[in-house]
């Protein structure tokens, strides 16, 4: 798996430890969901102002959010169709883009009473599952997605 992480914000400290966590959790999602193709994910870390701008542009919601996912390849609850989608020059299936507001992640970690690391891992997991075709529009979908998120975070050693 190929992961590109770009930090475009300066409000919350971004260090090697957070970068390694993002890489580890992204890989755990791929392994846990049994994705068998080589894939690529682009993760961009931003502040609240930038994610609000993106949220407004793509979803017509003029407020900040914690994570946005933009899938490229077609998937349904972890089952990827490798024949539908784009590939990079190295042959990696491009799953899509994840945008995370580290500013919101920090605030939410404090609100929920857990570590910043757990919140970042949760947002990465949530975004990755969306790229793999999971959703939470309906109650059953939400239940399954929450179960998958907790399973992955437990594997990462980040239980509640």
pLDDT at 81 over 60: no
Residues 93 and 147: beta-carbon distance below 8 Å: no
Domains and CATH numbers, the chain: 2-155 (3.40.390.30)
pLDDT at 50: 98
Residues 73-89 have a mean pLDDT of 62
User: In sequence order, which residues have a C-beta less than 8 Å from that of residue 21 and are 6 or more positions away?
Assistant: 117, 120, 121, 124, 156
Residue-wise pLDDT for 10-24, tens only, equals 999 999 999 999 999
Residue 95 CA to residue 42 CA, distance in Å, equals 8
CA distance readout (Å), 84 to 6, 45, 70, 81, 118 = 26, 27, 15, 6, 33
Bridge partners (DSSP) listed for residue 79: 76
Residues 70 and 96: beta-carbon distance below 8 Å: yes
Q: Calculate the average pLDDT of the chain.
A: 90
Residue 84's pLDDT band (cuts 50, 70, 90) = low
pLDDT at 92 over 60: yes
């Amino acid at each position: 798996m190929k992961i590109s992480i770009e930090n475009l914000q300066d409000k919350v400290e971004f260090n090697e430890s957070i970068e390694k966590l993002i890489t580890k959790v992204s890989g755990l999602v791929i392994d846990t969901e049994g994705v068998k193709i080589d894939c690529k994910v682009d993760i961009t870390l931003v502040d609240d102002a930038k994610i609000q701008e993106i949220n407004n542009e793509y979803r017509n919601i003029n407020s900040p959010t914690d994570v946005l996912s933009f899938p490229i390849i077609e998937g349904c609850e972890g089952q990827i169709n490798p024949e539908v989608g784009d590939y990079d020059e190295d042959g990696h299936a491009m799953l899509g883009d994840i945008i995370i507001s580290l500013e919101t992640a920090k605030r939410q970690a404090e609100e929920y009473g857990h570590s910043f690391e757990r919140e970042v891992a949760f947002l990465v997991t949530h975004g990755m599952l969306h790229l793999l075709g999971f959703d939470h529009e309906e109650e059953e979908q939400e239940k399954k997605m929450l179960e998958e998120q907790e399973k992955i975070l437990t594997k990462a050693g980040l239980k509640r």
